[in-house]
Amino acid sequence: MHDGTIAAIATAPGRGGVAVVRISGDDAFEVAELVAGKLPPPGHFAFRRLDIDDVLVLVFKAPNSYTGEDVVEIQSHGGGVAPRKILDACFAAGARIARRGEFTERAFLNGKMDLSEAESVIELVDAKTDRAAKDARERLSGETRRTYNDIYREVLEAGADLEHSLDVDETDLPPDFLAKISARLTAAKKRIYTILARSHEGRILREGALVVLAGEPNAGKSSLMNALLGANRVIVSDIPGTTRDSIEEYLDLGGYPVRLVDTAGLRDTADAVEGEGIRRARELIDKADYVIDLSPSGNVHTKCDLEREPGKINVSAKTGEGLDELKADIVRAISPLAVAEPTPSERESSLLSAAAKYLEDTDKSDIVLLAGNVRQAGQALAQLTGEVYSDDLLSSIFSRFCVGK
């Protein structure tokens, strides 16, 4: 089914206590024995002394492995030399370098996980906060797959009933046939919309809530950003127009990933470069999940060490006063985005939206048109977990992974 036995370093490059070389495929055991000598029984481990390092060898017999194939993992000390030498020995023994995400791709093709779970693997690796990791872990648990499969099965069965009805005389159908079909499809559509309602929350957890500092020049945006980050990231100057482009940094607030963006000061200007920065600032403000508005009519007042303004969050970048209050207000604003259930990925949201669109007119009296729409909805849903997939789809998903995963 697969193109040979693959090997790769499965741990991050650079200095580290341990490095793992992973081998997977029909000849994994033979390759590993040429590299590390006699292997321990599957499910066990053994220490081996190689020319380059003392290593730990772990053996997994198909299908009881990450990929569903025979797998051997060789653990050495970290760094660049030892794992690279071990990997070169694997190549000399007949393995080839794994493509990006090929171990997980093989896990999908061998039925160890579906596409939704495969996507959650990369989301777990990329998670920036505990909340994002928890969401990815819940998706990896299989609950998302069960939900998608339930919806798919309901639409598939309704579609089968419709297709069957096309082969019989309409007078032979029960009088409430279409009404019952419509009710089943409407229920499936409602479940899809419930999931889609969480798509924004998924974006927040994966990409971070967009929090934008906005206001006129010299309003204190850059100083406040540095204070929130706890580092001198942005140049602070009394000269208006110092910030001409957006500056973005990552911040963890209450477990929520936040994209904190400092923007150009909002004012009329004849300077083309500054004008472009202001245009970009306005675009970011329109898209923001939370705006730290430092304008006279805004929600935040800086330099409260000099004066305070009633009805606003008063902060001082100089003394740190009010920063905790501001952070708490941001968390309150984005916390409703947290949900107890896993959230759909961008790919899944697109397919769910397509399915919902085909199911929009479930009360059609024309059985032929309704059957066609339900067929299209079923095809979209079949791609969610990988019941139907293409090489291009797999490439687009697994190319996001690192080599070794």
Q: Residue 63: its pLDDT value, please?
A: 94
b/e sequence 7-32, b meaning 16+ C-beta within 10 Å = bbbbbeeeeeeebbbbbbbebbbbbb
Q: What is the mean pLDDT of residues 191-213?
A: 81
Among 187, 123, 126, which Cα is nearest to 153's?
A: 187
Q: Where are the alpha helices (DSSP H) in 19-126?
A: 28-36, 81-92, 102-109, 115-126
Give the pLDDT confidence of 243-298 residue by residue, as tens digits: 556 788 888 888 788 889 888 777 776 677 767 777 788 888 898 889 998 888 88
CA gap 156, 168 in Å, rounded: 19
Q: Residue 207: its pLDDT value, please?
A: 76
Banded model confidence at residue 131, pLDDT cuts 50, 70, 90: confident
CA gap 222, 401 in Å, rounded: 35
Q: Give the CA distances from residue 326 to residues 181, 224, 231, 300, 314, in Å, rounded to whole numbers and listed in that order.
A: 52, 11, 17, 8, 8
Full set of structural domains in the chain with CATH: 6-113 (3.30.1360.120), 117-198+346-385 (1.20.120.430), 208-337 (3.40.50.300)
Q: Give the CA distances from residue 224 to residues 31, 236, 250, 320, in Å, rounded to whole numbers and listed in that order.
A: 57, 10, 15, 9
Amino acid at position 159, single letter: G
Q: What is the mean pLDDT of residues 145-150?
A: 86
| Residue that wins the pLDDT comparison between 146 and 328 | 328
Helix H or strand E segment including 377: helix 367-385
Give the pLDDT confidence of 335-373 residue by residue, as tens digits: 876 555 567 888 888 999 999 999 887 666 678 888 888
E strand intervals along 89-186 = 96-97
Three-state DSSP state, 201: helix
Q: Which residues pair with 110 in a beta bridge?
A: none
Whole-model pTM over 0.75: no
Q: Residue 6: its pLDDT value, please?
A: 95
Q: Residue 13: its pLDDT value, please?
A: 78
Q: Considering the chain, what is the average pLDDT of its residues?
A: 84
Q: What is the mean pLDDT of residues 87-106?
A: 93
Among 405, 252, 230, which Cα is nearest to 334's?
A: 252
| Residue that wins the pLDDT comparison between 274 and 37 | 37
Percent of the chain residues topping a pLDDT of 70: 91
Q: Residue 77: its pLDDT value, please?
A: 92
Banded model confidence at residue 88, pLDDT cuts 50, 70, 90: very high
52 CB-contact burial (10 Å; exposed 0-12 / middle 13-18 / buried 19+): middle
